[in-house]
Amino acid sequence: MAVQMQFLKEMEQQVQAAPDKQVSLTDPDARSMATSGRGTGMVGYNVQTAVDAEHHLIVAHEVTNLGHDRTQLAPMALKAKEATGCEEITSLADRGYFNGEQVLACEGTGVLPCVPKTLWPSERGLFTRQDFVFDAQNDCYTCPAGEKLTRGAARSDRKDDIDIYRHLTACFTCPLKPRCTPDKLKRIKRWKHEGVLDKMQARLDRMPHAMGIRRQTVEHPFGTLKAWMGSTHFLTKTLEKVRTEMSLHVLAYNIKRLIQMFGVGPLIHAIQT
């Protein structure tokens, strides 16, 4: 019992000393990956792929040990743009990639990100931020009651990149207030670069089938590769070796895809020339 307690104590010290508070005993680089269940996770690696919507070829890929996708939008989109040689590409991703800083990083690079915003559930059935319409020309929000929420003066206790919009009098007599906020005033926070998110949302509004295209484009190669790899998936350990293994899988997938598209003979001829 004393030996077991000592082992647990040493393990706890290792976990606390680790930068991300994680220690894997089977693979030092593997980390807990986010899953749909709260507080759950699978220890492994995060594989990122960018797939061409026309030919379904994997044009870029990466393997990380980050347990989320929130910082992967710009790096993967820029890799895909470089690999394709296109001056401009449209990058479709799911909600897990939504991150204002990442969308901003794509601005002016030739990458047009299309990522649905993360929608938070309404608190006790109250109006959500989506119920307030922003007017860029007049720099104000229109609330469900038709009142204009204007930008308040900057305060030292607020972040420099966040503005607060409110109406100082209308909320007190508004008949919709019980459906809006339990506070004295309704306040809307707006990021100073929110305009890039508005432009992205406008692109999504013009592409109602975008997420369907994303699913049928990027998920199919994942399913194919997992079927080839079997239930154990990666056979190697450590990030460097797993990246090499994944590169070989991507190469094999793309070669088989090209054979289906052009045939063996033309593909060999293209490689030789």
Same domain, 107 and 172: no
Q: What is the pLDDT of residue 94?
A: 95
Same domain, 93 and 147: no
Q: Of 166, 191, 216, which marks where a domain is finished?
A: 191
Amino acid at 208: P
Identify the residue whose tokens are 């998920």: 219
Q: Of 137, 163, 191, which marks where a domain is finished?
A: 191
Same domain, 37 and 48: no
Q: What is the pLDDT of residue 271?
A: 87
Residue 215 CB neighbours (<10 A)? 12
Beta bridge partners of 166: 150
Judge contact between 103 and 200, C-beta under 8 A: yes
Q: What is the pLDDT of residue 125?
A: 77
Same domain, 96 and 187: no
Same domain, 114 and 209: yes
Same domain, 35 and 49: no
Instruction: Read off the pLDDT of residues 7-26 as tens digits, 9 standing for 90 and up.
Output: 667 677 777 877 777 888 88
Same domain, 110 and 206: yes
Q: What is the pLDDT of residue 99?
A: 96
Contacts of 91 (CB under 8 A, 6+ apart): 50, 73, 76, 77, 80, 106, 111, 112, 113, 114
Closest CA to 210 of 144, 81, 116, 73: 116
Q: Looking at the 3D structure of the chain, how many domains does it have?
A: 3
Report the first-to-last Cα separation within the chain, whole angstroms.
69
**Spans in the chain with pLDDT lower than 70:** 1-4, 6-8, 10, 35-40, 121-124, 155-159
Residue ranges making up the domain that contains 234: 43-118+200-272
Same domain, 8 and 106: no
Same domain, 32 and 144: no
Same domain, 98 and 210: yes
Mean pLDDT, rounded, of the chain:
90
Residue 183 CB neighbours (<10 A)? 9
Same domain, 16 and 133: no
Instruction: Read off the pLDDT of residues 99-142 as tens digits, 9 standing for 90 and up.
Output: 999 999 999 999 999 999 987 766 667 899 889 999 999 999 99
Same domain, 54 and 103: yes
